[in-house]
Amino acid sequence: MGVLGAGAMERTDTLILGGGLVGLTLALALDAHGLSSVVVDPADPEKTLTGAFDGRASAIASASWHMLEAIGVAEALKPHGCQIRRIEVRDGLQKQPLDFTLGDGEPLGTMVENRILRRVLREAALNAKHITLKMATKAVSVERGAGGVTATLDDGSAVRADLLVAAEGRNSPTREAAGLRAANWKYDHAAIISAFAHSIPHDNVAHEIFYPGGPFALLPLPPGNRSALVWTVKAKDALGILALNDHAFAVEAQKRTGGLLGELSSAAPRSSYPLGFHHAAAITAERLALVGDAAHGIHPIAGQGLNLGFRDVAALAEVLVEGSRLGLDLGDAQLLARYQRWRSLDTLMVASATDTLTRLFGVRGRTASRVRRFGLGAVQRIAPLKALFMAEARGESGELPKLLRGIAV
């Protein structure tokens, strides 16, 4: 549909505040089923599409990839993605890792750089029939009531919708304004983000090495000798690591790989962000639904943050599309209650599990290390338990919405 001009009143099915990865994906999922959205985001696309804005890469679980296929964006991502065919998990540099290995089936996930994912989603949204983008724009006021949602934007235009969706991220002002409280705390950690070339090919293997200071993850990127780095460090150490020159940074990172990928070189620009946890007990209110980090934020220890947001998208899209076919108002309390029930248990379980892992692997000492290694060994030996972990990694646990099975609603 394109970009809405100033001074206009737009009538739409959903008003989505937040045009990041989750917000745009929701708009595209709704568009694929004939429902319209206006997406409002204060960020300037000229800045958000650069590598300097967000140097992260995301592990898109296989179930999430099925949804991207169903809504028509996976094909454009394929040339830029790298499949994860195996995951090796270690407590420190133990020789025998917990090894999640696939046969000839679909991958555990696909690594895609965020800047590429953001660009592909934006291009698809610009070409979508039922999506209007209002970028570099803020909502000055938003009113929710029995008759619908009305928003006034800072360019003088206005939007009227049946449903408001908050996809604004961890510090969602819409969540706060609605009085939806979230349990939250900060970890004494920061994530260092970068990427390296390496002398030994990664062979589509992701490595997660747990140290008392935090997990150290190397995630495969194309073409085969490059991997993304997510290095969790104590918050007090982050500035010092960021200040290292490229050679010293590569040396420090290589020490922690134990030579798994050979010599590291060509470090990408580094960035850092603080880590925390939050979980909103209620993710709906009158004519309002939260998705993605507006609803929940977890430690990146298991790489499931974006995939949780994609699960929100798939569930909410299914609820709204089916409700629309029944002739229901998209802001109907019954529809929102169904979304709340569907997502509340899954998000709480994943959030609790990642928090527990973070604390478990952060305990120092030989006894704690023995317990962790015993646990990793048990998962490796017990086939049903290992299968459960692999299903979670693929995003295939619980009651899957149709889109996560690659099926249109």
pLDDT in tens, the chain (409 residues): 555 555 567 899 999 999 999 999 999 999 999 999 999 999 988 887 776 667 789 999 999 999 999 999 999 999 999 999 988 888 888 777 878 776 667 788 999 999 999 999 999 999 999 999 999 999 999 999 999 999 999 999 999 999 999 999 999 999 999 999 998 878 788 989 999 999 999 999 999 898 877 889 999 999 999 999 999 899 999 999 999 999 999 999 999 998 999 999 998 999 998 888 788 989 999 999 999 999 998 766 556 779 999 999 999 999 999 999 999 999 999 999 999 999 987 776 666 666 555 554 554 555 545 545 545 454 454 454 445 555 555 566 667 899 999 999 9
- What pLDDT was estimated at residue 257? 94
Q: How many CB atoms lie within 10 A of CB 376?
A: 19
Residue 205 is predicted with a pLDDT of 95
DSSP structure class, residue 78: G
Q: Which two tokens stand for residue 265?
A: 């070189």
Q: Which helix (H) or strand (E) holds 307?
A: helix 305-325
Q: How far apart are CA 21 and CA 120, in angstroms?
A: 10
pLDDT score at 386: 44
Q: Are 106 and 406 a contacting pair, CB within 8 Å?
A: no
> Among 75, 86, 1, which residue's Cα sits nearest to residue 36?
1
Under DSSP, is residue 297 helix (H, G, I), strand (E, B) or coil?
strand
Residues in Cβ contact with 46 at an 8 Å cutoff, skipping those fewer than 6 apart: none
Q: Which pLDDT belongs to residue 384?
A: 47
The amino acid occupying position 224 is: G
pLDDT in the model for residue 354: 62
Residue 364 is predicted with a pLDDT of 54
pLDDT at position 349, please?
65
Respond yes or no on whether the N-terminal peptide bond of residue 215 is cis (omega within 30° of 0).
no
Predicted local confidence at residue 278, as pLDDT: 84
List, as own/partner pairs, every contact residues 394-400 make where C-beta atoms lie below 8 angstroms and the sequence separation is at least 24, other chains included.
Answer: 394/61, 394/62, 394/63, 394/106, 394/108, 394/109, 395/61, 395/62, 395/63, 395/64, 395/304, 395/307, 395/310, 395/311, 396/61, 396/62, 396/63, 397/346, 398/345, 398/346, 399/342, 400/63, 400/314
pLDDT, position 250: 94
Select from 303, 318, 301 the least CA-distant residue to 394: 303
What whole-number distance in Å separates Cα of residue 314 and Cα of residue 408? Answer: 10
The dihedral of CA 230, 232, 235, 241: what is its sign? negative
How many CB atoms lie under 10 A from the CB of residue 144?
21
